[in-house]
Structure 1
Amino acid sequence: MAGAVPTEPRLRADARRNSEQIRAAAIGAFQGRGLTVPLEEVAKAAGVSKATVFNRFGGRIGLIEAVIEEVVARELLAVIDHTRTIEDVGERTAYYLTAIRDLQYRQPAVNDVLLQTYPNSRQLMEICRAGSEANDELIAAGHASDVLRPEFTAGDLQALVVDNALALKHGERPPRDDYDRRTTYLLDGIRGRPSASGGR
């Protein structure tokens, strides 16, 4: 009978469309408000049920991993890659810290990654590992060239980044001008002090 003709191709097309709508909604929500946005809101924005989100992606972790490249990884890893191309260590340090703090201000999801909000996500933890390696490299180069205070450690840098993430996620967001001014204070505070013999 005509009514018994299989509709599997149409079902597959519907599933693909649902997945694309969910991905687009998740990218918009996560970029705007971070990775902890309720899945009900993502589903509503996508025009599907929360059950459909689970059917397509298996839950929050699966959804995060499906979009984390667009939401966080691409831009954050680009900052790390560009940092490594800057020859002058002082300029490298200023660029890296300014760029990371800029991302933290603009992209709430970056703070969720840096705070390791979802440690069961392999991709998120890999991003954290890449960031930790970049921090270690920067501190080592800064000490070797006397650009950074000798007592300033990679752990100190990590703590400053995490403290900033917590403040932005749970506190009142400061005006951008104030935020950038504090970035300058941070850079001034960690720079190496000129020696009495003339800054060698």
Structure 2
Amino acid sequence: MAKDAPRPLRADAQRNREKILAAAVRVFTEDGLDAHLERVAREAGVGTATLYRNFPTREALVEAAYRNEVAQLCEVVPALLAAHPPYEALRAWTRLFMDYATAKMGMIDALRALSASGGNPHAHSRDMIEAAVTTLMEACGAAGQIRSDIGPADMFAALAGIALTSARPEQREQAERLLDLVLDGLRADPAPPSGS
């Protein structure tokens, strides 16, 4: 192991870290900048000392929580493709994307504050998400399930547009209708209109 490489976390320490990150997303989504870190610790079921040992500042916690959301969204792609036909994997992933977008919107004030203080929580997130979309679309294309004239950048733009207009929790039904509209338009052989 390299001299400066961080030591891997023990299993219990890793579980605590994951619980803290999940709780942070919930709390920052609900309370924005007014979120109390003590509440994050309480909801994670850990002491404040454990929280601060893992994330010494509010900024470190916000950035780690956001990056964890992006990583989870992107890392699920192989499992979705292993469990579902490509088009259904893409459809399922778009719902996870909306979960991510809803959490991001809830955390937007905290993310803006982090950016204003010189942090860059968005570094690499767009590239990671585009890579996930690319993997899913390539699998769909190889299976002949989607049109060949629509690329990952187009799909990412459509998803981002839906997220901008419909990512609030109370807009979830609308978001899912819009996702279905986009996905139906992406099909290689769209279903004929009913009554045909």
Q: What range is the shorter-chain TM-score in? A: 0.5 to 0.7
Structure-2 residue corresponding to 1:121: 120
RMSD: 4.1
Runs of at least 5 residues in structure 2 that lack an aligned partner in the other structure = 1-16, 41-51, 191-196
- Retained in 2: the 8 A contact 1:80–1:131? no
Deviation at 1:144, TM superposition (A): 2.5
Distance in structure 1 (CA, Å) of the matches to 2:127 and 2:106: 14
**Aligned with 1:121: secondary structure?**
coil
Counterpart check, 1:86 vs 2:83: yes
Distance 1:166 1:79, change over 3 A: same
Residue aligning to 1:130:
128
The residue type paired with residue 28 of structure 2 is F
Identity among equivalent positions (%) equals 18
One-letter amino acid matched to 1:183? L
Tell me the amino acid that sits aligned with residue 155 of structure 1. Answer: A
Give the Cα–Cα distance (whole angstroms) in 1 for the partners of residues 163 and 80 of structure 2: 21
Q: Which amino acid aligns with 1:192?
A: A
Pair 1:137–1:45, CA change in 2 (3 A): closer
2:153 aligned residue? 155
Q: TM-score with structure 2 length normalisation?
A: 0.57
> Does 1:95 find its partner at 2:92?
yes
Q: TM-score, normalised by structure 1?
A: 0.56
Greater gyration radius: 1
- The separation in 2 between residues aligned to 1:159 and 1:99, in whole angstroms, is 16
Deviation of 1:189 after TM superposition, in Å, equals 1.2
Q: What amino acid sits opposite 1:193 in the alignment?
A: D
Matched, 1:190 2:189: no
- Distance in 1, matches of 2:170 and 2:65, equals 28
Match in the other structure for 1:140: 138
